[in-house]
């Protein structure tokens, strides 16, 4: 008992010391989870299915931007405006690649099943097959060792909050992530395009009676979710793990957890779930060995599914039954 | 205006419509009567492209629309008030009305104001989400939403279902006004007596077939209709 108390006391001390830096790091990871989680939740919204090949959309964004950075940067060390331009190019390359792969997935792995009114299980099998194909293709073509992405900037501590250093890498993630997430939110809330997505998610058949082209709306959700995930693949690739054929697996499962945590089908929920998961994971480092982090995330997934399957903001999961 | 020739619709092994033929003329209210499961909803859904007929032909204003996709019908001039109302539950009343105008170009704020004049209760509820409305309010919203598409033919599927008699009267009055303003109406109803009093003509469906059709006044006095569909409603 005394031992246990001592254990927690010492770890709480770590948490107090490291609080701000863990928070900053957790938020940065959380922003990337959020960007990937959007794709899960949007596709679930209109199709009531989990796109388990979304991890490879993320990976495609990582590789596409990696090759782009390699071509543009090579062995140079960019700085100033050129750095900013390179980051924008990286985001766009990752986003376009992610959108393209997501669109292909919809066309090849899902649409034929939809035409045939296939059971949900068929979609799951098709998704797993597509995912397996894509990451093995990447492994074969690009090698099975992770590559580090040529950096568009020189990473350094830009400022500190309460003594915690905030690196340029984190700032890049924040700026890109927050711009993309807010743009998406405004797009869905205020534009006609967004309204068609919301209508299709609430009642696809009735939406089509209003003149919404459901096929096009479905493609649109794959494209938007794919662009965000692809851009997140670029941001992730800038980190110390770089890019690799298997890079999508764990982050995408985490993002799926985030989407469930926030309430699957709910866009803001996915963003909140992503941020929350990133921070919780980061703080848990103070209490458990780093190798247990993934256990924490998937423990959360299991607990949410058991006790609050509608997540934080969700209330419509029941409709999928 | 609308002509249906020998239309067959199947759900897998079940045949829901065994080759039905009927027509709706400009300016009429035509009602489709029939027991539960007769095929009335399937007929309306076919007319909106939600079920393509396996065989047969549908002509609307001289154009073949047999295989036209569902999302094209509102631009063609057909509006649909679906069975069960199907309001978008997470959208506000106003957003639901705007969805009705989804295919329209240009401004439609005047039309929204006109809907609020026809249905004052919707104006009070304009910022509430559709899922929180009462059944009667949802029905009015579903009708208003369909009218926002400026249909020349309006399909109504059991608009009085589950509503209090006073609200049913209001709905029927409004259907009359819709016809008077120049929109043709195809009305599916369980409430045969009231529907026939409003309609110009009617068809009776049984087991996926149209068994007969006539003017509404003749149907009201028809022995078969009185026995099966009017029943104790006859004096009401
Ligand atoms: N989605 C469906 N799948 C299979 N059978 C259906 C479906 N919808 C309706 N049916 C069947 O088609 C027939 C006609 O149904 P419907 O058009 O809903 O009748 P009504 O509107 O007159 O009550 C019924 O026998 C019904 O069971
Ligand atoms: Mg019906």
3-state secondary structure chain A: CHHHHHHHHHHHHHHHHHHHHHHHHHHHHHHHHHHHHHHHHHHHHHHCCCCCCHHHHHHHHHHHHHHHHHHHHCCCCCCHHHHHHHHHHHHHHHHHHHHHHHHHHHHHHHHHHHHCCCCHHHHHHHHHHHHHHHHHHHHHHHCCCCECCCCCCCCCEEEEECCEEEEHHHHHHHHHHHHHHHHHHHHHHHCHHHHHHHHHHHCHHHHHHCCCCHHHHHHHHHHHHHHHHHHHHHHHHCCCCCECCCCCHHHHHHHHHHHHHHCCCCHHHHHHHHHHHHHHHHHHCCCCCHHHHHHHHHHHHHHHHHHCCCCCCCCCHHHHC
Per-residue burial over B111-135, b = 16 or more CB atoms within 10 Å of its CB, e = otherwise: bbeebbebbeebeebeeebbeebee
How does pLDDT run across A25-44, given as a tens digit for each residue?
A: 999 999 999 999 999 999 99
With CB atoms and an 8 Å threshold, state whether A202 touches B89.
yes
In CATH terms, is domain A17-320 a member of 1.10.3470? yes
With CB atoms and an 8 Å threshold, state whether A211 touches B80.
no
The span from the first CA to the last CA of chain A, in angstroms, equals 47
Q: Please, what's the largest Cα pairwise distance for chain A?
A: 68
Q: Is B14 in the pocket of ligand 1 (CB under 6 A)?
A: yes
CA distance linking residue A29 with residue A170, whole number of Å = 9
Q: Which ligand is nearest to the CA of B16?
A: 1
**Could you tell me the mean pLDDT of each successive run of 10 residues in chain B, 236 residues long?**
96 93 96 93 97 95 95 96 96 96 92 95 95 95 97 97 93 96 95 92 95 91 79 49
* Mean pLDDT in residue range A202-208: 96
CA distance linking residue B225 with residue A279, whole number of Å = 69
Q: Across-strand partners of B206?
A: B209
Q: Across-strand partners of B64?
A: B59
Best substitution site from B11, B189, B203 to test ligand 1's pocket, by max atoms within 8 Å of Cβ?
B11
Dihedral class, residue B27 (left if φ above 0, else alpha if ψ from -120 to 50, else beta): left
Strands (E), B120-171: 153-157
Cβ-contact B46, B186 below 8 angstroms: no
Position A227 pLDDT exceeds 60: yes
- ∠ CA A188-A190-A192, rounded to 5°: 80
CB contacts of B70 in chain A (<8 Å) are 205, 208-209
- ∠ CA B229-B232-B235, rounded to 5°: 105
CB contacts of A200 in chain B (<8 Å) are none
Smallest CA–CA separation between A213 and chain B, in Å? 6
Instruction: Supply the residue whose CA is at minimum distance from atom 26 of ligand 1.
Output: B37
How does pLDDT run across A170-203, given as a tens digit for each residue?
A: 999 999 999 999 999 999 999 999 999 999 999 9
In 3-state terms, what secondary structure has residue B103? coil
Which pTM does this prediction carry? 0.90
CB contacts of B91 in chain A (<8 Å) are 198-199, 202
CA distance linking residue B158 with residue B190, whole number of Å = 7
Please tell me the predicted confidence (pLDDT) of residue A3: 77
Cβ-contact A86, A72 below 8 angstroms: yes
With CB atoms and an 8 Å threshold, state whether B91 touches A211.
no
Residue A317: pLDDT band (50, 70, 90) is very low
How does pLDDT run across A230-269, given as a tens digit for each residue?
A: 999 999 999 999 999 999 999 999 999 999 999 998 999 9
CA distance linking residue A41 with residue A226, whole number of Å = 12
How does pLDDT run across A45-98, given as a tens digit for each residue?
A: 999 999 999 999 999 999 999 999 999 998 899 989 999 999 999 999 999 999
Please tell me the predicted confidence (pLDDT) of residue A1: 66
With CB atoms and an 8 Å threshold, state whether B75 touches A207.
no
Instruction: Supply the residue whose CA is at minimum distance from atom 1 of ligand 1.
Output: B11
Task: Report residue A29 as tokens.
Answer: 């990871």
Q: Which of B42, B87, B102 to mutate to test the interface with A (most CBs of A within 10 A)?
A: B102
CA distance linking residue B3 with residue A194, whole number of Å = 36
Cβ-contact A87, A77 below 8 angstroms: no
Cβ-contact A128, A49 below 8 angstroms: no
With CB atoms and an 8 Å threshold, state whether B86 touches A206.
yes
């Amino acid at each position: 008992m005394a031992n246990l108390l001592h254990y927690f006391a010492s770890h709480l001390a770590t948490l107090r010391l490291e609080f701000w830096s863990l928070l900053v790091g957790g938020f940065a990871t959380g922003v990337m989870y959020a960007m990937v989680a959007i794709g899960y939740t949007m596709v679930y919204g209109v199709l009531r299915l989990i796109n388990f090949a979304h991890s490879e959309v993320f990976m495609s964004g990582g590789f596409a931007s990696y090759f782009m950075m390699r071509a543009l940067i090579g062995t140079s060390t960019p700085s100033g405006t050129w750095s900013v331009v390179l980051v924008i190019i990286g985001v766009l390359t990752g986003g376009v690649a992610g959108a393209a792969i997501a669109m292909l997935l919809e066309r090849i792995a899902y649409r034929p099943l939809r035409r045939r009114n296939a059971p949900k299980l068929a979609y799951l099998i098709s998704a797993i097959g597509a995912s397996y194909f894509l990451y093995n293709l990447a492994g074969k073509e690009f090698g099975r060792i992770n590559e580090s992405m040529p950096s568009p900037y020189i990473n350094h501590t830009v400022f500190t909050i309460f003594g915690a250093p905030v690196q340029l890498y984190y700032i890049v993630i924040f700026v890109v992530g927050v711009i993309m997430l807010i743009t998406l939110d405004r797009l869905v809330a205020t534009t006609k395009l967004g309204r068609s997505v919301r209508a299709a998610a609430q009642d696809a058949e009735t939406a089509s009676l209003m003149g919404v082209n459901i096929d096009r709306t479905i493609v649109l959700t794959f494209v938007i979710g794919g662009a965000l995930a692809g851009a997140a693949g670029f941001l992730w690739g800038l980190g110390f793990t770089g890019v690799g054929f298997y890079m999508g697996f764990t982050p995408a499962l985490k993002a799926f957890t985030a989407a469930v945590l926030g309430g699957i089908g709910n866009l803001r929920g996915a963003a909140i779930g992503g941020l929350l998961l990133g921070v919780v994971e980061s703080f848990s480092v103070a209490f458990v060995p780093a190798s247990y982090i993934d256990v924490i995330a998937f423990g959360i997934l299991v607990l949410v599914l058991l006790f609050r399957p509608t997540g934080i903001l969700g209330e419509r999961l029941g409709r999928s039954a | 205006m609308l002509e249906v020739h020998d239309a067959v619709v199947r759900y897998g092994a079940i045949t829901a419509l065994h080759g039905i033929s009927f027509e709706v003329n400009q300016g009429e209210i035509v009602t489709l009567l029939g027991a539960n499961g007769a095929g009335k909803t399937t007929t309306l859904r076919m007319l909106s492209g939600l079920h393509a007929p396996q065989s047969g032909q549908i002509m609307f204003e001289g154009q073949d629309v047999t295989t036209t996709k569902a999302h094209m019908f509102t631009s063609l001039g057909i509006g649909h008030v679906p069975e069960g109302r199907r309001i978008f539950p997470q959208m506000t009343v106003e957003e639901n009305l705007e969805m009705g105008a989804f295919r329209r170009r240009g401004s439609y704020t005047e039309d929204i104001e006109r809907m609020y004049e026809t249905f004052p209760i919707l104006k009070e509820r304009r910022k509430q989400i559709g899922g929180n409305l009462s059944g009667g309010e949802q029905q009015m919203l579903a009708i208003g939403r369909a009218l926002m598409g400026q249909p020349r033919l309006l399909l109504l599927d059991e608009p009085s279902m589950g509503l209090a008699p006073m609200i049913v009267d209001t709905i029927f009055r409004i259907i009359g006004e819709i016809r008077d303003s120049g929109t043709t109406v195809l009305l599916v109803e369980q409430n045969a007596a009231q529907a026939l009093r409003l309609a110009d003509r009617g068809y009776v469906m049984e087991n996926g077939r149209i068994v007969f059709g006539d003017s509404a006044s003749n149907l009201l006095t028809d022995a078969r209709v009185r026995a099966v569909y009017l029943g104790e409603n006859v004096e009401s």
